[in-house]
Chains A and B, each alone.
Chain A
Amino acid sequence: MSLDVNERNDSGSRQSEGGDRAQYGVCAFLALLGVLVIVDATGIAHSTSSTDPIGPRTVPMLLGVLLLVIALVYVVDVARGGRAEPESGEDVDLTNAIDWRTVLLLIGAFVVNAVLIEPLGWVISGALLFWGTAFALGNRHYVRNLAIAVSLSLITFYAFAIGLGVNLPAGVLQGIL
């Protein structure tokens, strides 16, 4: 595995000098999260009593401080060249850079579903989600995918919402389904 990483760096990747810089972003995220937790905790009305000597504030404060500490340690680790391997997998090809177009398209499909699920209902929004994700991942059989997406969302709606009583909205198709 480490061999792979070396090979990739040798082949002129941007990461070859000074380790994986993007990791500083993780440190920044951890530090920001720490500050957020501390700020939120200071806003909690602090009440300690004999039945609760710790109060609701102590644990978030502790967590916030620990987050700042770990962010700092992380920065030191990254500066010293520390890095961890990205997760590999069967359908994952780590030799290419991240394909942001696909990722953003997928996020788009996801957001469309989240926004439309209540007004239009699961059958429509879920079908759009499936179709959009398949499209984002590079499948171009538009009509076939639409057929699969619609039947999948109809089947799940009937099986779960009507069959098992799971909460799925009917939306505009209320009364038709």
Chain B
Amino acid sequence: MDNLNHLLEGFAHVATPMNLLLALIGVTIGTAVGVLPGIGPAMTVALLLPVTYGMEPTQAFIMFAGIFYGGMYGGSTTSILLNTPGESSSVVTAIEGNKMAKTGRAAQALATAAIGSFVAGTIGTLLLVFVAPLVVEFAVSLGAPDYFALMLLSFVAVTAVLGSSRIRGFASLLVGLVIGIVGIDSVSGQQRLTFGVPQLADGIDVVVVAVGIFAVGEALWVAAHLRRKPAGVIPVGVPWMGREDWKRSWKPWLRGAAFGFPFGAMPAGGAEIPTFLSYATEKKLTKHPEQFGKGAIEGVAGPEAANNASAAGTLVPMLAIGLPTNATAAVMLAAFQSYGIQPGPLLFERESGLVWALIASLFIGNLLLLLLNLPLAPAWARLLRIPRPYLYAGIVFFASMGAYAVNAQPLDLFLLLTLGLIGFAMRRFGLPVLPLIIGVILGPRAELQGRRSLQLSGGELSGLLGGPVSYVIYTVIVLVLAWPLVRRYIARPLVERRA
């Protein structure tokens, strides 16, 4: 019940006219930027970081909560009306949603996505209220070796589980880790990889890295392969659903939420797996299997719910342990750090007011999103028609402004360009982006925890094996790494036996 009291206090904190206005602005620009093709939630959050500079932390995070859910939601509009998923978790929505739109049911697809996102987002945020404090209790008991093991696990998980090639995933992670060590070593005070450039002593700002890799990299990549003809946008009315649509949607919403939340909270869980699971489940359970692949409403309702519930789930490890499990959370973590706030178990104690205000504003943002999106869908759809040169010029413009504003030094703009070129090359050669971002953010902290563990043991390597928690984590790491080998030797005899 303690949590509910905290949450009520959070609501009391947020419910001032000024704060509600900030939440509304956050949701509006989050949706607007998220709807724009080519901009996923992570880039939305990274690009909009500077908007919150110069605000109080609480206000900034109220606005941020809106941007976060708005950006998550905006992608579904693009998928349905343009058949162009901005990121892999919207792929399923695009499959069925765009088919629905093509058969004249865009209004119903948008409505089930919006209402499903609201239902799942609310359930997910409620779960966050109850689960996060439990995770905090657990996290408080962890020592430096356990944290070190946990960070190693997220490195291994994001590189080995996601993406098609482990080699390319590890290459991306290593580049991220190298970017992470630039600057003054936090333990000994020695400069590393600064090449005598004084501005590099503080390290490369995570915001610059995220904006460079996501926004500038994307702009360069699109410039290289720009599609010269405009995309066809399907006209849309105000979203609504008939009785039959409601009947077919509510169960997929709930099941999608149940899939999404736990996966969001896991390292490398992300939103892709639960959206696919939800899609497969709905396809199996539906009474209208003949419509799947041709525009089944269940195939939009379930995956969209899973997508949003996983976004709420992502916040559990991010707030409670300081562990980002996807790119959007990684950028959010960077936002916290830019206010000198370190997410983790102590956050709930030290910044209790801030955390609960943030969580309360997630509920409010979710509601505003629904109120804003149902009547305004035609207006958002119009954003899809922005001429591409303006869209990408705008991205580069705001990316440069944001990167410069972090430290007010032109050097950051050259760093931004360099990182953009790295992002460009990564897109060209199919290297995943997430391991790099996770490496930059978690690398320095993993090094710190590792060195702290060894301090405690006086340099003995056994110091890295803390207690039962780290034993379990290392076992999981070995299993994840060994999985392809295991699969090869287990799967082959099975196939042979069958033959």
Closest to A104 in B: B223
Residues of A50-76 at the interface with B, using a CB-CB cut-off of 8 Å, are 50-56, 59-60, 63, 66-67, 70-71, 73-74
Residues of A10-66 at the interface with B, using a CB-CB cut-off of 8 Å, are 20, 22-23, 26, 29-30, 33, 36-37, 40-41, 44-45, 47-48, 50-56, 59-60, 63, 66
Check if A86 sits within 8 Å of B455, measured CB to CB. Answer: no
Min CB distance B434 to A, Å, is: 13
Q: Is A103 an interface residue (CB 8 A)?
A: yes
Known pairs A84-B431, A89-B222, A90-B86; A114 contacts B414 (CB<8 A): yes
- Of B130-138, B172-180, B470-478, the one touching chain A: B172-180
Check if B38 sits within 8 Å of A91, measured CB to CB. Answer: yes
Check if B227 sits within 8 Å of A126, measured CB to CB. Answer: no
Question: Which residues from chain B contact A168 at a C-beta distance below 8 Å?
Answer: 401, 404-405
Check if B455 sits within 8 Å of A53, measured CB to CB. Answer: yes
Question: Which residues from chain B contact A130 at a C-beta distance below 8 Å?
Answer: 393-394, 396-397
User: A66, A113, A148: which contacts B400 (Cβ < 8 A)?
Assistant: A113
Q: Is A82 an interface residue (CB 8 A)?
A: yes
Q: Roughly how many angstroms separate A84 CA and B86 CA in the complex, as a whole number?
A: 19
Question: Which residues from chain B contact A53 at a C-beta distance below 8 Å?
Answer: 451, 454-455, 458-459
Known pairs A96-B225, A113-B400; A165 contacts B392 (CB<8 A): no
Q: Roughly how many angstroms separate A137 CA and B387 CA in the complex, as a whole number?
A: 10
Residues of B382-439 at the interface with A, using a CB-CB cut-off of 8 Å, are 387-394, 396-398, 400-401, 404-405, 407-408, 410, 413-414, 417, 420-421, 424-425, 427-431
Check if B225 sits within 8 Å of A56, measured CB to CB. Answer: no
Q: Roughly how many angstroms separate A2 CA and B21 CA in the complex, as a whole number?
A: 48
Check if B167 sits within 8 Å of A73, measured CB to CB. Answer: yes
Check if A33 sits within 8 Å of B224, measured CB to CB. Answer: no
Min CB distance B168 to A, Å, is: 6
Known pairs A84-B168, A90-B86, A91-B222; A113 contacts B413 (CB<8 A): yes
Check if B413 sits within 8 Å of A166, measured CB to CB. Answer: no
How many A residues face the partner with a CB closer than 8 A? 84
Q: Is A87 an interface residue (CB 8 A)?
A: yes
Q: Roughly how many angstroms separate A168 CA and B190 CA in the complex, as a whole number?
A: 31
Question: Which residues from chain A contact B97 at a C-beta distance below 8 Å?
Answer: none
Known pairs A63-B174, A83-B430, A93-B226; A129 contacts B396 (CB<8 A): yes
Q: Is B491 an interface residue (CB 8 A)?
A: no
Check if B37 sits within 8 Å of A30, measured CB to CB. Answer: no
Closest to B427 in A: A87
User: B401, B431, B454: which contacts A156 (Cβ < 8 A)?
Assistant: B401
Known pairs A56-B188, A138-B226; A91 contacts B388 (CB<8 A): yes
Q: Roughly how many angstroms separate A167 CA and B192 CA in the complex, as a whole number?
A: 27
Min CB distance A81 to B, Å, is: 12
Q: Is B50 an interface residue (CB 8 A)?
A: yes
Over the window 116-131 of chain A, the binary record of Cβ atoms lying under 8 Å from chain B Cβ atoms (1 yes, 0 no) is: 0110001000100111
Question: Which residues from chain B contact A70 at a C-beta distance below 8 Å?
Answer: 167, 170-171, 174
Closest to A138 in B: B389
Min CB distance B80 to A, Å, is: 13
Question: Which residues from chain A contact B222 at a C-beta distance below 8 Å?
Answer: 89, 91-92
Closest to B181 in A: A60
Known pairs A53-B455, A93-B225, A115-B410; A30 contacts B219 (CB<8 A): no
Check if B427 sits within 8 Å of A37, measured CB to CB. Answer: no
Check if B430 sits within 8 Å of A85, measured CB to CB. Answer: yes
Over the window 205-247 of chain B, the binary record of Cβ atoms lying under 8 Å from chain A Cβ atoms (1 yes, 0 no) is: 0000000000010111111111110010000000000000000
Check if A90 sits within 8 Å of B417, measured CB to CB. Answer: no
Check if A103 sits within 8 Å of B224, measured CB to CB. Answer: yes
Check if B401 sits within 8 Å of A126, measured CB to CB. Answer: yes
User: B171, B223, B398: which contacts A26 (Cβ < 8 A)?
Assistant: B171
Q: Is A7 an interface residue (CB 8 A)?
A: no
Min CB distance A152 to B, Å, is: 7
Check if A137 sits within 8 Å of B174, measured CB to CB. Answer: no
Closest to B425 in A: A26
Check if B221 sits within 8 Å of A87, measured CB to CB. Answer: yes
Q: Roughly how many angstroms separate A114 CA and B413 CA in the complex, as a whole number?
A: 6
Min CB distance B33 to A, Å, is: 14
Q: Roughly how many angstroms separate A44 CA and B185 CA in the complex, as a whole number?
A: 11
Over the window 450-470 of chain B, the binary record of Cβ atoms lying under 8 Å from chain A Cβ atoms (1 yes, 0 no) is: 110011001100000000000
Check if A50 sits within 8 Å of B174, measured CB to CB. Answer: no
Q: Is B442 an interface residue (CB 8 A)?
A: no
Check if A107 sits within 8 Å of B417, measured CB to CB. Answer: yes
Question: Which residues from chain A contact B400 at a C-beta distance below 8 Å?
Answer: 110, 113-114, 126, 129
Min CB distance A73 to B, Å, is: 6
Question: Which residues from chain A contact B190 at a C-beta distance below 8 Å?
Answer: 44-45, 47, 56
Residues of A127-157 at the interface with B, using a CB-CB cut-off of 8 Å, are 129-131, 133-139, 148-149, 152-153, 156
Closest to A50 in B: B458
Check if A166 sits within 8 Å of B430, measured CB to CB. Answer: no
Q: Is B53 an interface residue (CB 8 A)?
A: yes
Q: Is A94 an interface residue (CB 8 A)?
A: yes
Closest to A106 in B: B223
Besides A86-B430, A89-B218, A90-B227, 20 new A-B residue pairs in contact (Cβ under 8 A), listed by A number: A45-B190, A52-B455, A53-B454, A56-B188, A60-B181, A63-B177, A70-B170, A70-B171, A84-B429, A98-B224, A102-B223, A103-B424, A129-B400, A137-B223, A137-B389, A160-B405, A164-B55, A166-B53, A167-B407, A168-B405
Of all A-B residue pairs in the complex, the 7 with the closest CB atoms, nearest first, are A84-B430, A90-B84, A53-B459, A114-B413, A137-B389, A167-B408, A139-B389
Query: Measuring CB to CB, which residues of chain A are less than 8 angstroms from any residue of chain B?
Result: 20, 22-23, 26, 29-30, 33, 36-37, 40-41, 44-45, 47-48, 50-56, 59-60, 63, 66-67, 70-71, 73-74, 77, 82-87, 89-94, 96, 98-100, 102-103, 106-107, 109-111, 113-115, 117-118, 122, 126, 129-131, 133-139, 148-149, 152-153, 156, 160, 164-169
23 A-B interface contacts by CB (under 8 A): A41-B192, A59-B181, A73-B167, A74-B171, A86-B428, A90-B37, A90-B231, A91-B227, A93-B228, A98-B225, A103-B223, A107-B220, A107-B417, A109-B396, A113-B400, A117-B413, A122-B404, A129-B397, A130-B394, A133-B392, A133-B393, A134-B390, A166-B405
